[in-house]
Amino acid sequence: MLGWLPVERWRNPHPVVAVIRFDGVIGSRQGRNTISLGSHAAALEHAFSLSGLNAVALAINSPGGSPVQSALLYRRIRQLAEEKSVPVYAFAEDVAASGGYWLALAADTVYAEEASLVGSIGVVTSTFGLNQLIERFGIERRVHTAGERKSLLDPFLPEDPEDVVRLGALQRDIHDSFKDLVRSRRAGKIDAADTMLFSGEVLTGRMAVARGLVDGIGDLRGVMRGRFGERVRLVPVVAQRRRRFWWPRVRPYTVSDPQGIVGAAVGEALDWLETRAIWARFGL
């Protein structure tokens, strides 16, 4: 006799946990290994709409990136969790640092492996200085602005100390937002007097548990089976991200316009180097 069971329970007798992967650098540019609200919005909507849903699990392997995209993803997850009254769990894999940890804060409970790299609660800005390169090839950089502070840290010009001061003010404001979010989401779990938590240092999973940034050590499958039973169904929900090739898709090379493909190729190469540099901060 199943008539007494709720309809959803009768249709799906096993607990259901939606699993969404966040693997890569966080940023607005759409690429194969880039995380953004645009790349994951549909997957999040689908995950929180599964029939018989008991929880949503976030599998995070990200060194961070854009604070804006991190905040947008965080906000969308919290909105859906509250609308659907569904608990959210985050699982740090190799790394959930900087924007990756910002994303983990969207969860009600955060887990990591003992050797995971977690935290790095700070703000970093990196770019390239190409002024000597263009001088070597006899290229003249021309920038025209209306507004004395319109241009900031142009990579084709020598570094301006005043630009560095302005950038520092922007970074401090973003850092304050990050710190406020950590204090709010980890209230009662972190030591409010532990100012070193916000120094940008990275912690292992065990260190993060001891200092309240993470709730426990565990893997997604093991923790979900422990909470919802051996028959729990882990349902992967895949984000649809555009495949991006290294060689740029630009207009063909012509004698009259040779810089098109060269400039795009340089841009692609710099993007690749920047992505590698972000991962390399954590030895990955």
Active site residues per annotation: 98
In the 8-state DSSP scheme, what is residue 123? -
Q: Which among 99, 148, 133, 177 has a CA at the least distance from the CA of 266?
A: 133
Q: Which of 207, 208, 221 is nearest to 105 (CA)?
A: 208
Identify the CA nearest to 91 among candidates 59, 56, 54: 59
Residue 83 φ/ψ, nearest 5 degrees: -65, -40
What are phi and psi for residue 190, nearest 5 degrees? -100, 160
CA distance 243 to 68: 23
CA distance 234 to 254: 53
Which residues, in sequence order, are bridge partners of residue 35? Answer: 26
Helical pair 161-185 and 67-84, crossing angle rounded to 10 deg: 20
- Integer CA distances (angstroms), 164 to 51, 73, 168, in order: 51, 29, 6
**Alpha-helical regions (H) of the chain:** 7-11, 37-47, 67-84, 99-104, 131-136, 161-185, 205-210, 220-228, 259-280
Which 3 state secondary structure label does DSSP give 136?
Answer: helix
Contact 56/88 with Cβ under 8 angstroms? yes
